[in-house]
Amino acid sequence: MKRVIYLLMMMLALFALTSCNSEPEVDNSINVMFFTSNQNASMVASYLNLEEGQKIQAPEVPTREGYIFAGWYKDYYKKEAWDFDKDTLGGESIVLYADWEPSIFDIEYVLNGGEMPSDDYVKTFRGGEFAVLPLPVQEGFAFVSWYDYEWKDADGKITTIPGDKGYLKIPEVFEDVTLYAHWKPIVVDVKFNINYPEDDAPKLDVTRMSVNYGDSIDFEVPKDTDKYTFEGWNVKRDGTGEFYINGQPFERKLRITLYASWKEK
């Protein structure tokens, strides 16, 4: 047993002596590494085992969504560019840093009958920018939002997808965009008063209805009686105001009561 312990001690001493006398390995190779970006950029292969004083060729141009490559720099803060025609390698490995300029994209607005409140609104944007979009206006309509598809189809049917909130800020895209204004017509409450000159007034099938701004007027037409002829629906009880005529567009934004106008036979 003592002999085994002695042999182990000798082996440990020999290993320690060998470790003390060995020199650490030194990597004297010169390499060039290319740092593109931490976000959505392609990688560029490093140059390995180069020589001091050597020039290097420009590598492949990296790509990054929403950005334009603007050159290689010697420092992270992009203060000194690397000149591939003049600069040479020193005695140590280096990192070259890619510089980027945001791409500029255009916005096309399809207003669908509306208009911008002013000329001061965002018309271009940089990749990744989230500026607020303008809020257009249209007589008789409330603006819903901007969408990347049309408001109505070829048959005039509204195509806004239920639950789709659209965009009130620039979409997260890296390309030119077309935005379509979607609208919701103002809904007006209309009451009907038979306004008959005598007590035995005819009854109306509809005494109240909701009408969208811009819809074609389609109000009930009471039948003539033995004594009176129905002339139409008027904004005044005495029939001296404006008449609302079937077939014409309804262009009112506030609730209203209409009175049947009668003419004695």
Q: Where are the domains positioned within the chain?
A: 30-102, 103-185, 187-264
What distance in Å separates the CA atoms of residue 164 and residue 151, rounded to the nearest whole number?
12
Query: Does 30-102 match 187-264 in CATH topology?
Result: yes
pLDDT tens by residue, 126-183: 877 889 999 999 999 999 999 999 999 999 999 999 999 999 999 988 899 999 999 9
CA 133 centroid distance within chain: 8
pLDDT at 17: 45
User: Is the C-alpha dihedral spanning 152, 158, 162, 166 positive or negative?
Assistant: positive
pLDDT tens by residue, 37-79: 988 899 999 999 999 999 999 999 999 988 999 999 999 999 9
Please check whether the domain covering 187-264 is classified as CATH 2.60.40.4270: yes
Residues 81 and 20 sit within 8 Å (Cβ to Cβ)? no
Token pair in block for residue 118: 């002013």
Whether the pLDDT of residue 18 is over 90: the answer is no
Q: What is the mean pLDDT of residues 122-126?
A: 93
Q: What is the mean pLDDT of residues 226-238?
A: 97
CA distance readout (Å), 20 to 14, 27, 115: 10, 20, 84
Q: What is the mean pLDDT of residues 225-247?
A: 97
Q: What is the architecture of the domain spanning 103-185?
A: Sandwich (2.60)
Q: What is the architecture of the domain spanning 30-102?
A: Sandwich (2.60)
pLDDT at 9: 42
Question: Residues near 130 by Cβ (< 8 Å), separated by ≥ 6?
Answer: 169, 170, 172
Closest listed residue to residue 140, CA positions, set 161, 121, 112: 112
